[in-house]
């Protein structure tokens, strides 16, 4: 009996963890995120020269980031995009925000049209259905001040597309 | 046989979990903010000081002016403000300067005699933006200075490490 169980594990159970990922990967919804955002903050960003603090809010152009959704099974194949950040070198006084500024072309998109803070925890951003290309996202940073020591701060925003059907 | 049923159930569960995991794809982008060092100081005021009176039997009275201010912004730590004059003062004449510390940061060194070498007037300044520190000048002379014609000095303030 033990021999049969071993055979079962080796030839049937174990491959289940590996084979399907390759065989069916193309059947699931894919996301493509294009664009980064970088800013240099220096004395030109002082509100009114010496004696004043830095601007506290920085906003990117409207289409700083573009998102494509593909691999859906049709116009009604629903999905949701969750967002979170993973910090490289970051300062807790800095707060990144995202806002969807266009619907893109193709399927349906809804939500995410007001600024939403990105935290370390995955949070729903917007949702939609079907294949969509060119969903624009605007980015915002709040919190800069002269209390933040000179350095290069960076964080990575993770957009996870979740198939909700 | 029970064990085999359990394994089959586990296999089904593994398949289901795999499907869930496969349903999520991830895209990323980077946000980078390069905060440069900021050390800005701006001085306003062109004070005129005249030593012109004395009490009999005493040295001439000191002239004081507090009409100047400086504005400071730094995102650094432990900065200092130094002051220097472009040309030495005449013999027996002394020009002093005192700068109040920015709000919440720094230590004023009180009234410091200005020379052609930089002198600390405020030290220990960190992460501050203040446009109100007051600059006070004091001009004094002894009778040995004699009568002097009007003269000017340029005082340069520097915010540095």
How many separate domains does chain B show? 1
B82 domain-assigned? yes
Question: How many degrees, rounded to 5, is the angle at CA A22 between CA A21 and CA A26?
Answer: 90
Condensed to tens digits (0 to 9), the pLDDT of residues B77-95 reads 999 999 999 999 999 999 9
Indicate the pLDDT class of residue B147, thresholds 50, 70 and 90. confident
Closest CA to B139 of B93, B83, B91: B93
Residue B33 lies in a domain: no
**Does residue A8 lie within any of the structural domains?**
no
Please judge whether A156 and B30 are an interchain contact, meaning their C-beta atoms are less than 8 angstroms apart: yes
- The CA distance from A97 to A59, in Å, is 9
Within a domain: A33:
yes
Q: Give yes or no for a contact between A60 and A38, defined as CB atoms under 8 angstroms apart.
A: no
Asked if B71 and A49 come within 8 Å (Cβ–Cβ), the reply is yes
- Per the CB < 8 A criterion, the answer to whether A145 and A92 are in contact is no
For A4, which DSSP code? Answer: H
Residue B9: inside a domain: no
CA distance A136 to A17: 36
| Closest-CA residue of chain B to A154 | B32
- Which helix (H) or strand (E) segment is A162 a member of? strand A151-163
* Predicted pLDDT at B4: 52
| pLDDT of amino acid B24 | 81
pLDDT at position B52: 87
Its ipTM equals 0.82
CA distance A122 to A161: 11
Q: Is A12 inside a domain boundary?
A: no
Q: Which domain holds residue A68?
A: 27-163
CA distance B45 to B43: 7
> Which residues touch A71 (CB under 8 Å, ≥6 apart)?
A26, A27, A28, A29, A30, A131, B25
Where does the pLDDT of residue A24 fall: very low under 50, low under 70, confident under 90, or very high at 90 and above? very low
| CATH number of the domain to which B94 belongs | 2.60.40
Closest CA to A33 of A132, A141, A109: A132
Residue A3 forms part of a structural domain: no
Residue A34 near chain B (CB below 8 Å): yes
Entry pTM: 0.79
Substitution target from B7, B33, B106 for chain A, most A beta carbons within 10 A: B33
**Domain interval for residue B63:** 39-160
Say if A78 is an interface residue toward chain B (CB within 8 Å): no
Structural domain total, chain A: 1
Look at residue B104 in the predicted model and tell me its pLDDT. 87
Rounded to an integer, the average pLDDT of B51-69 is: 92
The domain spanning residue A52 has which CATH number?
2.60.40
Measure B44 CA to nearest chain A CA, in Å. 11
Query: How many residues are recorded in chain A?
Result: 165
């Amino acid at each position: 009996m033990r021999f049969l169980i071993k055979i079962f594990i080796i030839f049937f159970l174990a491959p289940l963890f590996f084979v399907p990922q390759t065989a069916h990967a193309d059947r699931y919804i894919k996301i493509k995120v294009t664009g980064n955002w970088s800013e240099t903050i220096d004395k030109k960003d002082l509100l009114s020269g010496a004696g004043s603090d830095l601007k506290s809010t920085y906003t990117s152009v409207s289409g700083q980031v573009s998102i494509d959704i593909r691999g859906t099974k049709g116009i009604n194949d629903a999905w949701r995009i969750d967002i979170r950040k993973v910090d490289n070198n970051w300062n807790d006084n800095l707060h990144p925000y995202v806002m969807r500024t266009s619907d893109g072309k193709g399927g349906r998109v809804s939500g995410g049209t007001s600024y939403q803070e990105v935290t370390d925890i995955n949070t729903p951003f917007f949702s939609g259905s079907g294949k969509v290309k060119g969903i624009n996202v605007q980015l915002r940073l709040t919190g800069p001040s002269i209390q933040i020591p000179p350095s290069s701060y960076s964080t990575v925003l993770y957009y996870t597309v979740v198939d909700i059907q | 046989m029970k064990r085999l049923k359990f394994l089959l159930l586990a296999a089904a569960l593994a398949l289901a979990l795999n499907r869930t995991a496969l349903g999520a794809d991830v895209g990323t982008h980077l946000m980078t903010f390069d905060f440069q060092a900021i050390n800005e100081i701006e001085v306003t005021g062109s004070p005129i000081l005249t030593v012109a009176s004395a009490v009999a039997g005493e040295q001439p009275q000191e002239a004081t002016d507090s009409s100047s201010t400086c504005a400071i912004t730094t995102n650094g730590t432990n900065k200092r403000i130094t002051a220097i004059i472009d040309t030495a003062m005449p013999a027996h004449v002394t020009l002093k300067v005192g700068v109040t510390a920015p709000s919440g940061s720094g230590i004023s060194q009180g009234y410091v005699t200005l020379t052609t070498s930089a002198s600390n007037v405020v030290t220990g300044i960190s992460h501050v933006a203040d446009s109100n520190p007051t600059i006070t000048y004091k001009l004094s002379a002894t009778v040995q200075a004699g009568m002097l014609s009007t003269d000017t000095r340029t005082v340069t303030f520097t915010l540095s490490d």
